[in-house]
Amino acid sequence: MNLGQWIGLFAILLSLYILWQIKEVLLLLFAAVVLASTLNRLARRFQRSGMSRGFSVLLSVGIFIALIVGFFWLIVPSFAVQFQELTRQFPQGLERFNTWLDELKTRIPAQLIPYIPDIDSLSKEAQPFFNRVLGSSFAFVSGSLEVVLKILLVMVLTGMFLANPQAYRKVFIRLFPSFYRRRVDGILDRCEQSLGGWVIGAIIAMAVVGSMSVLGLWILQVPSALALGVLAGFLNLIPNLGPTMSVIPAMAIALLDAPWKPLAVLILYFIIQQAESNFITPIVMAHQVSLLPAVTLTAQLFFAYFFGFLGLFLALPLTVVAKIWVQEVLIKDVLDQWGTNTETELVMLSDVDEPDDLPETSTNDVQHPLDH
């Protein structure tokens, strides 16, 4: 390679390194774009009914903020009460467990008694764990503050994008060569349409899963059934892993009421998850977003490994957008056109240079999408 090629390679590697260093900022920016795109679609629906652009945007943002406030208003107080009840009943549970161990020691052979632990030994072994938990409490508080700041940043960016979305779209399109800008504009339209379809499908699936969870927990008479159902519906945004995360607090709260209820809650959530994965999601997403299950799970693992919980939460919309760009740019504009122009040129040369008695060859005239 000559000097110019080495400089170009170095510039590409340096750009990739810089993008990797700011990957978290880019992920927050993508979250703001997804949220702004969703609210913008809602605002345009309000505009079709005769509202002005400004009032439509304010109404869309107000609905979103009301949903967020309502979510935390349902979840936080109920969980705080149950957590206090858990801390109150935990010592009583330890005392009952110690009494059960004492009764067990009177019924087993004397040779097995040394192998049965008691509460004191268990507490000594658990002391380092509690010390680590206590030591990491300050890190948890600082991490919570960091999460709040990130949420505020996403909200501010969302408001900026909503104020004038076309201006930011034009800036992004101008980053591409002039002959490809119309093509990029069409790809962005497809991305916006697919993200909107994913949001609609996810909201419907969340509502169905949340309603089924509330109904099932209410039948089982589990405390805080409404809060647990809302949490289950919200975590359904995370395919495959979300239902597993939602069953843990439900089982913990059910344990406070009766020893048999955690198993009943586990069976309930398993039935809901099977209904969601086999019936609800295929029906809802059939006309919204089509992604292979293996691709979805692989994307979740990939984004969770490299970007943490935020990457896991945004894995599906990231996969939807990445799929469109790969299909439109890599497959249609590059791979499908690979060698087409070269074959056409070879045919033209053979028509000129070869003798007339050779059989004629022909190729399909495939027009490159970049030639427009």
Report the percentage of the chain scoring pLDDT > 70.
70
Task: Report d(CA 287, CA 280) in Å as an integer.
Answer: 13
| Contact residues for 239 (Cβ-Cβ < 8 A; gap 6+) | 281, 296, 297, 300, 316
Cα torsion 61, 62, 63, 66: sign? positive
DSSP string, 258-276: -TTHHHHHHHHHHHHHHHI
Task: Report d(CA 304, CA 300) in Å as an integer.
Answer: 6
**Within the chain, what is the greatest distance between any pair of CA atoms?**
107
Place of tokens 């400004």: 54
Per residue in 31-84, pLDDT tens?
A: 899 889 888 888 888 888 888 888 888 898 899 889 888 888 877 777 677 666
Task: Report d(CA 61, CA 67) in Å as an integer.
Answer: 10
Domains of the chain by residue range:
21-175, 179-336
Phi, psi at 285, each rounded to 5°: -85, 0
Structure tokens at 8: 């170009």
Cβ distance 193 to 41 under 8 Å?
A: no
Q: Of 25, 303, 65, 315, whose CA–CA distance to 153 is shortest?
A: 25
Total residue length of the chain: 372
State the number of CA atoms in the 13 A half-sphere of 70 facing the CB.
Answer: 9
Q: Of 253, 242, 206, whose CA–CA distance to 89 is shortest?
A: 253
At residue 371 the predicted structure's pLDDT band, cuts being 50, 70 and 90, is: very low
Q: Which span out of 150-154, 242-246, 355-359 was modeled with the highest average pLDDT?
A: 150-154
Per residue in 250-269, pLDDT tens?
A: 887 887 777 788 889 999 99
Per residue in 320-330, pLDDT tens?
A: 888 888 888 88
Per residue in 165-220, pLDDT tens?
A: 889 999 999 988 888 899 999 999 998 888 888 888 888 888 888 899 999 999 99
Burial string for 273-295 (b: 16+ CB within 10 Å, else e) reads: beebeeebbeebbeebbeeeeee
pTM listed for this prediction:
0.67
